[in-house]
Chains A and B, each alone.
Chain A
C-alpha cells in the first residue's frame, strides 16, 4: 500500500452490539495516500487502533471490486460517500481533501439492526430474495443458443435490474427506509425474461409480502434510492414493480 501524506479527522460510529448504546468517536489519521480506497484507509486506522490495544472498527467488506455488495458505509451523510455510481470500496481517497473531517455511520434502518460498529444485519434482503427471487425450471442439457429469442431492449433492461448488488444503500438513503428499489430490481430482472414467467405473479406477491413483514417503510417516490444507488438502478423498476404487483393481485389465484 502506498504511503501518502493526507491528514484526516475521522468521526466514526462505534457500537459494541445491538443492545449497547453507540457513540461517535473521533480519530485523527495521518499518512493516507490519495490512491488508497476508503476501505484501505480504514485498514490503516484499524492497524493503528490494534497497535494501541483498542478494538478495531468492524466494517463489512469482501470483494473490494464493487461487485459483492458487502461494503456499506454512510459517509458524510451519503451511502457509499460523495461520488455517484460507486461503492465504498471503489471510492478512493483522492475524492477527499487533505485536512478533511469525514463522518462515517452505519446504514440506519429498523429492518437493518446493528451488529457491531458499522456492520448491520442485512439478512432481511436474503429473506425477501428467498421468498421469490428465483426461477424453477429444469435445466436439462445445455440448450442451443438463440432458441428463445429475447429482444435487445428487454435483455438490456433485465441486465440493468440484475446489476443490483443488494448492498442496501437504497434503504439507507430513503427517509422511509423503504426497500422498494431493491425489490423492484429483483422482480424486474425475472419479469422481463421468458425464464421468469412461470412464477411471475407468485414472485412479486411473495417478495412484497416479505418486504412488508421485515419492517421496511413505504415508498413515497422521493427518488433518493436511485440517486444514491451505486449501480444506478432506475426508478422505472419501481414503476414496473407496482404494475407487476397490481396485475398479480388482480388476477392471481393464490399466493
Chain B
C-alpha cells in the first residue's frame, strides 16, 4: 500500500533554475542533475539521509516508497486558555494538551504547539497561579491524598510483578498495535471498531492475567516501565475506539468509511458533531463524554478539499 514519491522531475527543475542563475548556457544533463541534487540536499538533506539509512535505497537516485502511518495521537488533556488542566496547578503544554490540534493535526508541525505554548503563553499565564502560592511552604508527603496516590502506584507495581505470566509486555504491545492498525487506522468503520473494542477488552484481561514482568520494583527496570505503559496504551486504545465509534461522521484524521461523499472525501455532520470532546475516566472501560461546542464567529465552515 505504498506510493512512489519521485524527485527526478524536481531535481531537473531545480537544476535548470540553478543553471539559469549561474548563467551557464551549454549545461550538460549531468550538470543540471548535479546542481538540482544540491538544491534538494540543501532543502531535505537530513530527511533523505534518514530515508537512505532506513531503507537502504538512495532517494536521490530511485523514487521513495511512502505510505501513511500513525504520526502522533491527536488531542490531549483538556486545558483552559491559560493551559491549566482541570486539576488546579497542573498545566499541560505542547501536544500533551488538546488545544490546538483537534481532529486534524497537520504533519511536520510537531514543534509548533510546544513552541507556541512554551514561548508565548505559559510565561504570561502561570504567574497568575504562582502568585497565590508564593507563600506556600514545603508540602508534607504525609497528606492523605499523597499517601493514597503513592499506595495506588505501589499496588499497581506489585500487581504487575506478581502476575508472573508467560507473555512479555512487548508482545502485548505488538498485538494491541495490530488491532489498532487494522481496525482503528486512518479509515475505520462501525463493525471494525466494535470488534476492536471487544478484542482490546479481551487483551486487557489476558494482560492482567498473563503478563511476564521480570526484575524487581526497587531497581532500574525498563520491563516494569514498559508493562505500565502498555497497560495504559491498552486503556487509551480502547478509548480511542469508543471515541471513533461514537463520532458518526468523517472529520480530519477520523475517516469513517460509512460517511464519505461520492468522490470518497470526508463527509462531516456539523449538525450533530460540531464539538470538541473530552472523556472523563469513571471506572474500568467506562468514560463519560463532555462536549464543548465549536463556535465560529468570523469564518464560514466549509469542506476541505485538496482538489
Contacts and interface: CB of A to CB of B under 8 A. Distances in A.
A116 B53 contact: no
A51 to B, nearest CB: 8
A94 B215 CA distance: 32
Nearest to A55: B214
B81 interface: no
Given A85-B49, A86-B53, A92-B56, A142 B214 contact: no
Interface residues of A, number: 31
Given A47-B171, A50-B214, A66-B50, 11 more contacts: A16-B219, A17-B219, A17-B220, A46-B170, A55-B215, A55-B223, A58-B220, A85-B49, A116-B220, A138-B123, A139-B119
Interface string A5-21: 00000000000110000
B170 A47 contact: yes
A139 B222 contact: no
Given A17-B220, A47-B170, A90 B53 contact: yes
A56 B214 contact: yes
Contacts of A116: 219-220
Nearest to A51: B168
Given A90-B50, A92-B54, A43 B214 contact: no
A100 interface: no
Contacts of B223: 50, 55-56
Interface string B35-55: 000000000000001100110
B220 A47 contact: no
Interface of B: 49-50, 53-54, 56, 119-120, 123, 168, 170-171, 212, 214-215, 219-220, 222-223
> Chain B at the A interface: mostly helix, strand, loop or mixed?
helix
Contacts of A212: none
A53 interface: yes
Nearest to A58: B222
Given A58-B222, A116-B219, A92 B53 contact: yes
Contacts of A58: 220, 222
Interface in A43-82: 43, 46-47, 50-51, 53-56, 58, 65-66
B53 A35 contact: no
Contact of A139 (B56, B120, B171, B215): B120
15 contacts: A17-B220, A34-B56, A47-B170, A50-B168, A50-B170, A50-B223, A51-B168, A53-B214, A55-B215, A55-B223, A56-B214, A65-B50, A66-B53, A115-B220, A116-B220
A53 B214 CA distance: 8
A183 B215 CA distance: 36
B115 to A, nearest CB: 10
